[in-house]
Structure 1
Amino acid sequence: MVTLIQFTNFVRKILYDLIFNFKMFSFDFSRRLIYSRMSQKLDVIIFGATGFTGKYTVLQAIETLKGLKWGVAGRSESKLKQTLNEVSKKAGVDLSKTPLIIADVTDKESLFQMASKCKVVVNTCGPYRFYGEPVVEACIKAGAHHVDVSGEPQYMENMQLKYDQEAANKNVYIISACGFDSIPADLGTVFVEKNFNGVVNSVETYLETYSSGAGSGASINYGTWESAVYGLRHASELKTLRSQLTKTRFPTFSPKLKAKYPFQKSPEDKFCLPFLGADKSVVTRTQRKLFETRQKRPIQVQTYLAFKSLLTTILLTIGGIMFGLMTTFKFGRYLLLNYPGICSLGFVSKDGVSEEKMNDSKFKITFYAKGWDEKLAEPTDKYSTAPTKTLKATVTGTNPGYGTTCAGVLLCATTILKESDKMPGSGGVLTPGAAFYDTELIKNLNNHKAGYKFSIVSNVLL
């Protein structure tokens, strides 16, 4: 007969087995659920999140990427956690559960693994001349789209030359210049053309930056300075690069838009200097793409800086000449890169720009377009008269280096996610104007609290 003790032990064993198996099942189910969630691709990964621009991109992501799954990537887990903690305190939002991905530009496998975990990589890790290409390669290989805030023509045009066809074959969009360089100028030109109600022959842009003088310290971050040093040093590469990139020339159009000499006056009676940034390069590439794919007459463009003060114009000219000369020899570059504060008279700092200074900075680009009210049958047809119509427009914004820049690159990423059906072809290496021509990006930039404003000032017949 079974004793009471034996019966009790038997029941105890059955209960133990049931409880143990239930716990194992529960653990396995939870593990599978977590694995399933982790295996789902993130919408966006911000790469270089611990850098100066990267941190402000993370801050902007809280609002701009609301409703999307996003994470941050960099080479140091501890620094990524520190960045999330800093941004959490600043924004009053808990980011502790934000996915962290370890990736290093010197480790191609880590970049591939990062790109495999998302739909779009937002790359804030510059200078792109040194660190951009491995990320582009990884994105194409993994099938992830790529946007960045580069203002480096050599890097951007080299990526187009090397990867345009490969990216298109993989249905991947690689889009640079999604920040202050060159969203305002490139999409501003698109905005002008769409509101012209005719055919635009030429556009002149005049960039002005200003502030009330609030805040102290540097106005330019070191990363921007470093990119400018190397960009100017290697500017001679562009001629050879462009000869390979553009096998056929644009057709000639009349009247030809001639460049202004330094110190000539703008239509608003301000002193002009040629703008040596990426804007003209980017807008020209957009116009070439629109001509090749849409048979649109290319818009001729010239870009300038505009100043009220002749003294300011003269001093900046002298400073620009000295900067350009120093980039041509090794010791000059050493001084520029190691003593940026002294060489820039305090405008540049490795410590970054103070928040008060950033929020006090503003920009305005004024566009003066000329063209005709009537359209001809073919984009290469010649007009028999001088332009009969003008349009004036502006693009304005605040904190161009980090506020509108970070909002711009994130909105470019979300546009790819939400409106890829309105983008050209199946992919490729494109400019913002060419990529987002048919999308709602300009409208979304206008509605974003970061401060972009696209406006038509006047549109008149001559």
Structure 2
Amino acid sequence: MAADGARTHDLVVYGATGFVGRLLARYLAGHAPEGVRIALAGRSRARLEEVRAGLPAAGRDWALVEADSTDPDSLRALAESTRVLATTVGPYARYGLPVVEACARAGTHYADLTGEVLFVRDAGERCDAVARETGARLVHACGYDSIPSDLSVLLLARRAEADGAGGLRDVQLVASARGGFSGGTIDSLRAQLEALQEDPALHRVLGDPFALSPDRAAEPGTRQPRDAGLPTRTPDGRWTAPFVMAQFNTRIVRRSNALQGWAYGPGLSYGEVMGTGRGPLGALTAGGITAGLLGAVSAMGWAPTRGLLDRVLPAPGTGPGEAAREKGWFRMVVDATTEDGSRYRATAAGRGDPGYAATAVMLGEAALALALDDDRLPGRTGSLTPATALGEVLVERLRAAGHTYEVTAV
């Protein structure tokens, strides 16, 4: 493990030449406090120089580091050079394990944007024990996957505890958003489907609601909502459809509960859906989204149709333009009932395309929290989630950055 005095950077953005990496670099250049030593890392120095030249003035003298996920020596040197590494290099199952392993061994705090269950499971199995020994916080899912979900349930549990209302029992998130897809997101889905084709047994892992539990055998086994199904309607009349990110976000929230000794409640039942509105239009939209998701996943899972989709879907390294990103938004409403029957509602919301503009804020503030707020963070190390590694410190940072995180009794 490198001593802190030997580290030349406080924070490195790895994958800075990619679509989301550029957005993250730009956010940090505009919001990191003066004096934070930030560097940009990637495979090509020429492309890194191009990214740096396009940053606001505060980022134009940042150091550049050449590193490649296929070169262990370069990754070791990168991890040992910095206190925090934020990586946007995906698909993580394909490129991420050597990066998180290098950080675990070096005692370097780590944050990523993964939405891949299999990667988080594998990273935990390989790196948790090492990171605990070296003092590294390895924080997965630091973007729209899965910060709004993870922090909202944390805040609900804290409010219920403060009110003496007991643990959380029935919790459901209804997501509404306006945003687009990047080639990187599509590539991550493609990589996961390819893994399933190579090893069909992995279907059981993905279908397990407690797949990311650190102690699967100890899980109370509370019945959990289905990740996908038919359109449904909430008690107050809102139509909903399956939420594309539910299969990942719900596992992260349940992992947070288990990492904290099931502090949210051993009977926590947690699900996520997408809100589509009220009345006939809401019902029609819910049906269209449900059919579209089923068709897209089926097409991506079959080689001939996947080839056709590859011709029209965004290529890796591309994504929504600036105007589209600025028009985006997200709003997550999380309703909870506690063990004594009390009801609470959490709201997480923000402006900007949720997967890109808002995600750059989330990952940027998570990385800054790891770099600057060490003495205020929960005293955990190892393979963690945003709620367990960063907790209410990150909530404070995101509120200051313009995002909404609030809980009310209902």
Q: 1:161 to 1:238 in 2, by over 3 A?
A: farther
Matches of 1:434 and 1:176 in 2, distance apart?
Answer: 11
Measure the CA separation in 1 of the matches of 2:185 and 2:106.
29
Q: Determine the C-alpha separation between the residues in 1 that align with 2:267 and 2:17.
A: 40
* Distance change in 2, residues 1:85/1:75 (3 Å): same
1:9-28 pair list within 5 angstroms: none
Classify 1:140/1:389 alpha carbon distance in 2 versus 1 (closer, same or farther; 3 Å): same
TM-score by length of 1: 0.77
Unaligned stretches of 5+ residues in structure 2: none
Letter in 2 for 1:109: D
Task: Tell me the distance in 1 between the aligned counterparts of 2:287 and 2:334.
Answer: 24
1:64·1:407 contact (CA, 8 Å) conserved in 2?
A: no
AA matched with 1:363? F
SS of 1:151's equivalent in the other structure is: coil
1:416 aligns with 2:370: yes
Q: What CA deviation, in whole Å up to 9, does each residue of 1:331-354 have, x standing for no partner?
A: 23333334316xxxxxx8864211
**Range with greater deviation from structure 2 (268-277 or 188-197):** 268-277
Decide whether the 8 Å contact of 2:213 with 2:255 is kept in 1. no
Q: Give the root-mean-square deviation of aligned CA atoms.
A: 2.5
Secondary structure of 1:87's counterpart equals: coil
Q: Does 1:222 align with 2:188?
A: no
Q: 1:340 corresponds to which residue?
A: 313
1:142-157 matches, cutoff 5 A: 142-157=106-121
Per the alignment, residue 384 of structure 1 pairs with none
**Equivalent residue number for residue 177 of structure 2:** 209
Aligned mate of 2:66, from 102, 118, 122: 102
Match of 1:454 among 394, 400, 405: 405
Q: 2:286 aligns with which of 283, 292, 313?
A: 313
In structure 2, the residue matched to 1:352 is 319
How much does 1:129 deviate? 1.3
Match of 1:388 in 2: 341
Q: Judge conservation of contact 1:105–1:134 (CA < 8 Å) in 2.
A: yes
Identify the residue that residue 406 of structure 1 maps to in structure 2: 360
Aligned residues: 385
Q: Pick which of 230-239 and 96-105 moved more.
A: 230-239
Partner of 1:281: 251
1:78-110 deviations in whole A, cap 9, x for unaligned? 11110011223xxxx253321011111111111
Deviations 1:34-85, CA, capped at 9 Å, x for gaps: xxxx965211000000100000001110233223111111111111110011
The structure that has the greater radius of gyration is 1
TM-score (norm 2): 0.86
For structure 1, which runs of at least 5 residues remain unmatched after alignment?
A: 1-37, 212-218, 342-347, 373-386
Counterpart residue number, 1:251: 220
Counterpart of 2:396 (choices 427, 440, 443) is 443
Q: Distance in 1 between matches of 2:338 and 2:264?
A: 17
Q: What whole-Å deviation, never above 9, does each CA across 1:399-443 have from its counterpart, x for those lacking one?
A: 212222112112212222333344455510011112123x42101
- Whether the 8 Å contact between 2:93 and 2:118 is mirrored in structure 1 is yes
Distance 1:192 1:155, change over 3 A: same
Contact 2:24 2:360 in 1 (8 A): yes
Post-superposition offset of 1:243:
9.1
Asked whether the 8 Å contact 1:291–1:298 carries over to 2, the reply is no
Quote the offset at 1:193 in angstroms.
Answer: 1.5
Partner of 2:143: 179
Contact 2:214 2:259 in 1 (8 A): no
Aligned residue identity for 1:285: R
Which residue matches 1:291? 261
What's the CA shift string for 1:222-271, capped at 9, x where partnerless?
11111123334546626348399644142255xx5655852110244222
In structure 2, the residue matched to 1:5 is none
Partner of 1:361: 328
For 1:184 and 1:107, the matched residues in 2 are separated by 34
